[in-house]
């Protein structure tokens, strides 16, 4: 009789999201929860603030949205939604206490844990500050920052929202020794671009309540910004790249890059003598392959509410 090796256990992951800041966190949650069986063991969804976008009550708004999406995926019973940091770090030494931080510490102490951080880095920075002993168990996949000097110079005036919403946390994440995959918005995730109306039709055709909801919020979000951000009615679905980086790593190109030095205002110094530690960073990806994996994930969700 032929004997195969042991089947690897699913990777333990937590999503740390500013859900409802835009709409791509919702796609990332549904993508992760619909990953192929045996791929990801989603332990929970933590909601982090984005006070830059939605003010002092942002965390509570995002918590409600996370609960809604997890429910539409039929996972309310086994995937807890936990409120994380309600505001940015006050400095680079003091964590922001929250139920979400306690949850992250507990999960990290149990063993290897990957955190998909698709918003401000407050919760993951707080974890590194509050429980430095768990760093060896962690891999943080953070969507934020700039991958190179050219991207920084081109986009710095508009800022990088996830980083700008908590610059102190951004600096902690870059400076503390922890396994990290940085997913800069440029270049890479910016290529996951969909035309809202036609993509919404594709989503509705899947016959899944969560896909219907994603179609609805995509069209609503783009409609509210037509003529202001992109008159063509297109949307970048940034955050699904974090899930793909772990669930389907062949869809992305990853290189080792030295992170730039950041000052208290978030200004970058890319000069050789000022660069910090080396981390893995996404430098390119296959948008169609990632969108196909999102479609497959959505089809794994219930075909009727509560199923």
Tens digit of pLDDT at every position of the chain (307 positions): 445 566 678 999 999 999 999 999 999 999 999 999 999 999 999 999 999 999 999 999 999 999 999 999 999 999 999 999 999 999 999 999 999 999 999 999 999 999 999 999 999 999 999 999 999 999 999 999 998 888 888 887 666 889 999 999 999 999 999 999 999 988 789 999 999 999 999 999 999 999 999 999 999 999 887 655 554 688 999 999 999 999 999 999 999 999 999 999 999 998 877 777 899 999 999 999 999 999 999 999 999 865 5
Residue 295 burial (CB count, 10 A): 16
- Distances in Å between the alpha carbon of 137 and those of 23, 40, 50, 73? 30, 16, 27, 28
Give the C-alpha separation, 302 to 99, whole Å: 29
What are residue 81's phi and psi, to 5 degrees? -105, 120
In degrees and rounded to multiples of 5, residue 270 shows phi and psi of -95, 5
Give residue for tokens 């030295």: 258
Which residues lie closer than 8 Å to 184 by C-beta, 6 or more apart?
A: 144, 145, 146, 147, 151, 281, 282
Prediction pTM value: 0.94
Task: Please state which of the four CATH numbers 1.10.510.10, 3.40.640.10, 3.90.245.10, 3.40.50.850 is assigned to the domain occupying 11-192+237-299.
Answer: 3.90.245.10
The structural domains of the chain, with segments of one domain joined by +, span 11-192+237-299, 196-235
Task: State the pairing for strand pair 193-195/234-236.
Answer: antiparallel
- Token reading at 81: 């939604």
Check if the beta carbon of residue 145 is closer than 8 Å to that of residue 170.
yes
């Amino acid at each position: 009789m032929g004997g195969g090796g042991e089947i690897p256990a699913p990777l333990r992951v937590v999503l740390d999201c500013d859900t409802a800041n835009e709409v791509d966190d919702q796609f990332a949650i549904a993508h992760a929860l619909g990953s192929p069986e045996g791929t990801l063991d989603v332990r929970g969804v933590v909601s982090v603030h984005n006070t830059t976008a939605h003010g002092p009550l942002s965390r509570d708004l995002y918590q409600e949205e996370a609960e809604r999406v997890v429910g539409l995926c039929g996972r309310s019973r086994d995937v807890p939604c936990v409120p994380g940091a309600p505001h940015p770090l006050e400095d680079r030494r003091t964590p922001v206490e929250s139920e979400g931080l306690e949850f992250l510490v507990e999960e990290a102490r149990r063993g290897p844990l990957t955190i998909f951080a698709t918003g401000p880095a407050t919760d993951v920075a707080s974890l590194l500050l509050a429980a430095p002993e768990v760093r060896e168990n962690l891999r943080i996949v953070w969507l934020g920052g700039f991958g190179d000097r050219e991207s920084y110079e081109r986009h710095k005036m508009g800022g990088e929202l996830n980083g700008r919403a908590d610059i102190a946390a951004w600096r902690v994440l870059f400076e503390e020794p922890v396994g990290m995959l940085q997913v800069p918005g440029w270049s890479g995730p910016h290529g996951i671009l969909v035309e809202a109306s036609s993509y919404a039709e594709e989503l509705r055709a899947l016959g899944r309540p969560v896909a219907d909801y994603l179609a609805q919020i995509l069209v609503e979000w783009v409609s509210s910004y037509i003529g202001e951000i992109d008159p063509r009615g297109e949307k970048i679905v940034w955050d699904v790249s974090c899930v793909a980086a772990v669930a389907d790593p062949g869809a992305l190109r990853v290189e080792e890059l030295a992170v730039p030095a950041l000052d208290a205002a978030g200004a970058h110094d890319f000069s050789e003598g000022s660069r910090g530690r080396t981390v893995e960073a996404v430098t390119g990806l296959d948008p169609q392959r990632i969108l196909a994996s999102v479609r497959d994930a959505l089809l794994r969700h219930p075909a009727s509410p509560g199923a």
